């Protein structure tokens, strides 16, 4: 990336979440061995849309020598991105290798730079803290006093000290890193923020421990000023152990807790920090990716209409991690979760028991966390497909032929749903081993269709059901089995695409242009979501309200 020195860099405006007068911001933690590397990292964070950057000076080779160049360079370059800076000792989770005397001397130099926020430990000697605070404010900085709490039983003591520091003017904001290991801790974390907010204490409240990632996704329902993240391309977190910026930003956007530049507004979840300790419902979605999902819109609309407090959390989960993610959600007190690509088959092996549709398909898209601690897997894609096809074509699928494109978990649920409808089912896909496995596992519910000779079925297909990820955000259609091409090869008389997009996917639009009945995955999503909501709550959600919320979210 080209560095821009000696000029002002204006970064793209990003949406925030209003909570009274507080806006929850995303702060990217930036590192570099020297000033140039640190500046490069910070500029990349700003370009990605970060609201703030924290400069980790303790990770520089020579912070005493480089800090002035780094801070002054970024103050010149970044016009509307707030800067924070810290210099942590190893005992406080940092990496500064020198003596405490050396560290305090460098902090004194850092205080004189006028960096936006100077992060200081709340347990520093009072006289030292007073001197650093006075110097920082004289230079135009604000002071963030931090406490890392190791045990939940220490929360009250740290709460008293942090409130006092803010109220007597020693801190412009306080930061508390709190262990969150289970639902009780999650409730305490939310309630702690609510109590600070009621007293007018500006704070940055960060969960650590087992449920840290989940707590940071939920952070905007609190009054925390900002949340720390890292840049990165893969995994859940970067080398510092923080959630990735893109993952957290996408989750907040999908939950309606951060606006999308130029995008449509989404209602925030019906949950506030003051609800902690009461009855509130936690639901989630496991998948990779989950940045495209509109499930939070649908389920949060259902909760709001039913007068429920709660949130539906996109919880990105990589293949191989489903069992661990379910365990985390279990201790977090989740009522249930959905599972999307590519994890539906893995989820079937991770739950304690399977419902009929899940057992027949070998795939799970809905998990219920039972009161006895066990998990039950259902496949509501089965219901979603059967109901959507009935709306599209008619109640009875007898004597009709459906061709399923795809061999993953979505295809498995679709086959069982089409069988329930009464159709004769063919399945095709790019991978012959996956196709053979699906046909074998479904034990006679479908027959294979050779992907190299689909023209043999010309005119025989009443319904094409598209179950691959092609057409999903970030997955452009391609290859021999591109859905539009398959539609042409078999001359199907109707189309159901399990993927949805504003205005319809390519194959849905192509079918409609040809005068064929066609519908996208939004109908499947609505029907399967309603069935899943009943599994979780025992209540019948208002499908019309869920549909209005979904159409508003996708611009239809």
Check if 3 is active-site. no
Co-location of 65 and 214 in the same domain: yes
CA geometry: angle 95, 101, 102, nearest 5 deg: 55
Mean pLDDT on 448-471: 93
Which of the four pLDDT bands, split at 50, 70 and 90, describes residue 473? low
**In the predicted model, is pLDDT for residue 479 greater than 80?**
no
Residue 261 lies in a domain: no
Please give the Cα distance from 227 to 544 (Å, whole number): 35
Q: Distance (Å, rounded) from C-alpha 548 to C-alpha 241?
A: 39
Do 351 and 424 reside in the same domain of the chain?
Answer: no
Together in a domain, 498 and 539: no
pLDDT exceeds cutoff 90 at 236: no
Has residue 272 been placed in a domain?
A: no
Predicted confidence at residue 476, as pLDDT, reads 62
Q: Are residues 157 and 205 both part of a single domain? A: yes
Tell me: do 375 and 390 sit in the same domain: no
Rounded to an integer, what distance in angstroms lies between the CA atom of residue 312 and that of residue 227?
A: 19
Shared domain for 473 and 492, answered yes or no, is yes
**What's the pLDDT band for 474 if we cut at 50, 70, 90?**
low
Question: For residues 167 and 234, which has the higher predicted lDDT (pLDDT)?
Answer: 167
The pLDDT value recorded for residue 556 is: 62
Length of the chain: 556
- Which pLDDT belongs to residue 232? 84
Q: Evaluate if pTM is beyond 0.85.
A: yes
Q: What Å distances lie between residue 114 and 78, 107, 260, CA to CA?
A: 14, 12, 32
Is 44 inside a domain boundary?
yes
CB under 8 Å to 23, separation ≥6 — which residues? 16, 17, 225
pLDDT tops 50 at residue 19 = no
Q: Tell me whether residue 70 is in a domain.
A: yes
Q: What is the pLDDT of residue 2?
A: 33
Mean pLDDT of 515-526: 96
pLDDT in tens, 308-351: 999 999 999 999 999 999 999 999 999 999 999 899 999 999 99
Two tokens, residue 467: 């179950």
- 483 vs 465, residue with greater confidence: 465
Whole-number pLDDT of residue 10: 41
Q: How confident is the model at residue 471 (pLDDT cuts 50, 70, 90)?
A: low
The share of the chain scoring above pLDDT 90, in percent, equals 82
Indicate whether 166 and 308 sit together in one domain. no
Asked if residues 417 and 389 have their Cβ atoms less than 8 Å apart, the reply is yes
Ramachandran quadrant class, 13 (left: phi over 0; alpha: psi -120 to 50; beta: rest): beta
Question: Dmax of the chain from CA atoms?
Answer: 86
User: Quick one: which of 404, 410, 402, 399 has its CA closest to 363?
Assistant: 410
Q: 324 with 395, same domain?
A: no
Nearest residue to 342 (alpha-carbon basis) of 414, 287, 385, 382 = 287
- What is the model's pLDDT at position 193? 94
Instruction: Point out the catalytic residue in the list 175, 198, 274, 344.
Output: 344
> What pLDDT sits at residue 20?
36
- For the chain, give the mean pLDDT: 91
* Residue 7 maps to a domain: no
At 150, is the pLDDT very low, low, confident or very high (cuts 50, 70, 90)? confident
3-state secondary structure of 177: strand
- Please tell me the total count of domains within the chain: 3
Q: What is the CATH number of the domain that holds 353?
A: 3.40.50.10860
Please tell me the least confidently modeled range out of 91-100, 222-231, 398-407, 517-526.
Answer: 91-100
What's the CATH code of the domain at 59? 3.20.20.70
Crossing angle for the helix pair 245-254 and 35-48, to the nearest 10 degrees: 20
pLDDT tier for residue 475 given thresholds of 50, 70 and 90: low
Residue scoring higher pLDDT (105 or 474):
105
Going by pLDDT thresholds of 50, 70 and 90, the confidence category of residue 378 is very high
Question: Of 220, 254, 288, which residue is a domain's last?
Answer: 254
Distance CA 386, CA 392 (A): 10
Rounded distance, CA 162 to CA 142, Å? 16
**412 and 539 co-located in one domain:** no
- 322 and 333 both lie in a single domain: yes
Q: Residue 174 falls within a domain, yes or no?
A: yes
Chain CA centroid to CA 432, Å:
33
pLDDT of residue 472: 65
Last residue of a domain, one of 219, 238, 254: 254
Of 254, 271, 290, the one marking the end of a domain is: 254
- Residue 502 is predicted with a pLDDT of 83
Task: Mark whether 520 and 539 lie in a shared domain.
Answer: no
- The pLDDT value given to residue 478: 59
Residue 288 · residue 316 · CB < 8 Å = yes
Cα dihedral value 112, 116, 121, 126, nearest 10: 50
pLDDT tens digits along 189-208: 999 999 999 999 999 999 99
- CATH number, domain of 438, equals 3.40.50.720
My answer on whether 106 and 22 are in the same domain is yes
| Band of residue 218 on the pLDDT scale cut at 50, 70, 90 | very high
Tell me, yes or no, whether 9 lies in a domain: no
Residue 266 in any domain: the answer is no
- Name the residue range of residue 407's domain: 382-524
Residues 409 and 382 sit within 8 Å (Cβ to Cβ): no
11 has a pLDDT exceeding 50: no
94 CB-near residues (< 8 Å, 6+ apart): 56, 58, 86, 87, 88
């Amino acid at each position: 990336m080209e560095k821009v020195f000696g000029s002002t860099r204006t970064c793209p405006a990003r949406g925030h979440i209003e909570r009274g007068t507080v806006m929850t911001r995303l702060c990217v933690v930036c590192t570099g061995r020297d000033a140039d590397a640190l500046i490069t990292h910070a500029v990349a964070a700003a370009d990605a849309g970060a609201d703030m950057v924290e400069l980790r000076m303790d990770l520089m080779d020579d912070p005493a020598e480089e800090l002035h160049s780094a801070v002054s360079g970024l103050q010149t370059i970044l016009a509307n991105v707030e800067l924070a800076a810290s210099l942590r000792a190893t005992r406080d989770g940092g990496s500064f290798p020198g003596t405490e005397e050396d560290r305090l001397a460098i902090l004194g130099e850092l205080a004189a730079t006028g960096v936006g926020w100077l992060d200081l430990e709340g347990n520093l000697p009072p006289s030292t803290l007073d001197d650093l605070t006075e110097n920082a404010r004289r230079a135009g900085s604000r002071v963030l006093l931090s406490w890392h709490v190791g045990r939940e039983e220490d929360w009250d003591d740290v709460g008293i000290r942090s409130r006092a520091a803010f109220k007597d003017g020693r801190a412009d904001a306080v930061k508390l890193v709190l262990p969150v290991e289970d639902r009780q801790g999650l409730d305490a974390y939310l309630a702690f923020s609510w109590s600070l907010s009621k007293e007018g204490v500006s704070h940055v409240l960060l969960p650590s421990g087992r449920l840290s990632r989940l707590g940071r996704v939920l952070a905007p329902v609190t009054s925390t000023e900002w949340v720390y993240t890292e840049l990165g391309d893969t995994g859940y977190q970067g080398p510092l152990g923080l959630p990735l910026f893109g993952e957290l930003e996408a989750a907040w956007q999908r939950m309606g807790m951060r606006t999308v530049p130029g995008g449509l507004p989404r209602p925030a979840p019906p949950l506030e920090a003051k609800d902690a300790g009461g009855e509130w419902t936690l639901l989630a979605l496991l998948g990779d990716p989950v940045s495209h999902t509109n499930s939070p819109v649908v389920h949060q609309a259902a909760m709001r209409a039913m007068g429920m407090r709660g949130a539906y959390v996109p919880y990105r989960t990589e293949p191989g991690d489903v069992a661990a993610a379910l365990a985390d959600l279990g201790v977090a007190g989740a009522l249930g979760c959905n599972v999307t690509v590519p994890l539906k088959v893995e989820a079937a092996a991770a739950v304690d028991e399977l419902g009929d549709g899940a057992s027949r398909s070998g795939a799970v898209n809905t998990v219920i966390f039972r009161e006895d601690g066990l998990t039950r897997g259902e496949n509501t894609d089965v219901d979603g497909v059967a109901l959507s096809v009935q709306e599209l074509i008619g109640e009875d699928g007898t004597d009709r032929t459906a061709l399923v494109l795809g061999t993953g978990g979505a295809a498995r649920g679709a086959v069982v749903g089409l069988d329930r409808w009464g159709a004769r089912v063919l399945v095709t896909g790019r991978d012959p081993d996956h196709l053979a496995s699906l046909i074998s596992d479904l034990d006679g519910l479908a027959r294979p269709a050779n992907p190299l000779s689909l023209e043999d079925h010309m005119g025989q297909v009443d319904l094409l059901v598209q179950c691959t990820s092609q057409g999903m955000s970030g997955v452009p259609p391609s290859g021999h089995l591109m859905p539009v091409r398959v539609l042409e090869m078999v001359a199907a008389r109707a189309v159901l695409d399990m993927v949805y997009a504003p205005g319809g996917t390519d194959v849905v639009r192509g079918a409609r242009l040809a005068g064929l009945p066609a519908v996208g995955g939004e109908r499947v999503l609505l029907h399967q979501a309603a069935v899943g909501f009943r599994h979780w709550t025992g209540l019948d959600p208002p499908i019309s309200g869920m549909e209005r919320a979904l159409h508003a979210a996708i611009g239809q």
